[in-house]
Amino acid sequence: MINPKHSRETHKNMTIPFNRRALLRFAGISAICSHVNSSQAAEKSTYSNNLKPMRVARPILNDFPHYVEPIRCETRFESPALIQDPDGDLHVRAWRWSYNARGIIEIPNQLLANCTAVIVVHPWGIEDGQGWRTPEPAGVAFQCTPQKNRLVLQHARDVINPLLKRLRGKARLIAYSLPGLEDSTRDKIYRSWNSQPTVATRAEGMKELRDKLNSFEYKGDSIPKTIQIDPERPVESYFKSFPGLDASAKYDHAGFWELPVPVMSSIDVAISDLAIYDGDGYSILRDHLKQMGIRHILLAGYNTDMCVCKTTAGYENLQKDFNVFLVGDATIATFPGQDSPRHATNASVSFAALNLLITQCSWIESKTR
């Protein structure tokens, strides 16, 4: 769920100083990635768009069918490799949909892991024991009901956390995008462009987080017992008074959206992982990723149809400057009116595949050079 207060790009002119020592540490890998960039720029080639029909069309995204309905399409093609980094040690098979080709096109890619970031969009820690909770009796946050929030926590435990563990130490960066701006509490817990917590400050920050979140009054109004109806426009007036989603202070209590939202506890955050804050805006994120020599993004997170595409670290921003792969089974879409996200996630991923490469956890393989 997008909080309107945090969905806009703010502080566009803010300059965050980049740590010089960190920049020197990144210099080696940046030089490698710069060499890849300059080599590719100097040796532009014509891509052979040779679509070879595939005889066996197995379902795609079939590993976690209780979270995403598998993609089934009989008309499938394989196309030549699109990205082939020299000494690429991360094999990422991907697919996209083409109405003009009238089918799915699968494409192998060979990425340099040290030029690759894994970004998890909005893994909000709610209903997970850290203290942030859905306001009662009718408040909404994240997936908007406690039951749906718990399902997403389990998805992160089953799908995203194992992927991060597998790629940590190989990919150049593991990062999480969070709402708002960096605050004094999360500053102690998560590494950012400005801070590097220690074990001691992290423990202090976690205690401060729990105290702050647990002391909040998660109490709002009940749904209305009566509604004033305009006899000329009864439907309009009904929904105006009782909309399908109201995340205002009426139900979520004043101050709820100012609380420090943590990364969900079902993800094991390493001290080297990075927190990205929506409030800093995309240009700062872009510049820092480029300074680190990152060219490729493996994108996961919540919600596929909203935050994963439209927030600061969403693919609508990132695909302008990086090679983005949406990890289709490491994301969940909003699913109003349903108990399961399977079909909603299928639809969101399928729609994204019109202009984005889609991969899945089992298609991402790290190879020893």
Give residue-wise pLDDT tens across range 103-114: 999 999 999 999
**By three-state DSSP, how is residue 201 classified?**
helix
Mean pLDDT in residue range 170-175: 97
pLDDT reported for residue 119? 98
Which residues make Cβ contacts (< 8 Å) with residue 38, sequence separation at least 6? none
How many Å apart are CA 248 and CA 316, to the nearest integer? 27
Inform me whether the pLDDT recorded for 18 exceeds 50.
no
pLDDT reported for residue 334? 97
Inform me whether the pLDDT recorded for 38 exceeds 50.
no
Inform me whether the pLDDT recorded for 13 exceeds 90.
no
The answer to whether residue 115 sits within a structural domain is yes
How many Å apart are CA 300 and CA 332, to the nearest integer? 9
> Residue 98: which domain range?
20-366
How many Å apart are CA 130 and CA 262, to the nearest integer? 8
Inform me whether the pLDDT recorded for 146 exceeds 80.
yes
The answer to whether residue 73 sits within a structural domain is yes
Strands, sheet with 110-111, edge to edge from the N-terminal-most edge strand: 110-111, 90-92, 364-366
Which helix (DSSP H) or strand (DSSP E) does residue 325 occupy? strand 323-332
Q: Tell me, what CATH number does 88's domain have?
A: 3.40.50.850
Inform me whether the pLDDT recorded for 35 exceeds 80.
no
Per the structure, the count of domains in the chain is 1
pLDDT tens-digit map of 201-243? 999 999 999 999 999 999 999 999 999 999 999 999 999 999 9
The answer to whether residue 333 sits within a structural domain is yes
pLDDT reported for residue 369? 54
The count of other CB atoms within 10 Å of the CB of residue 159 is: 22
The answer to whether residue 220 sits within a structural domain is yes
The answer to whether residue 12 sits within a structural domain is no
Mean pLDDT rounded to a whole number for the chain: 90
pLDDT reported for residue 56? 83
The answer to whether residue 4 sits within a structural domain is no
**pLDDT range class, residue 54, cuts 50, 70, 90:** very high
Closest CA to 353 of 315, 306, 307, 320: 315
The answer to whether residue 268 sits within a structural domain is yes
Whether residue 121 contacts residue 308, with contact meaning beta carbons closer than 8 Å, is answered with: yes
The answer to whether residue 11 sits within a structural domain is no
**pLDDT range class, residue 274, cuts 50, 70, 90:** very high
Whether residue 280 contacts residue 181, with contact meaning beta carbons closer than 8 Å, is answered with: yes
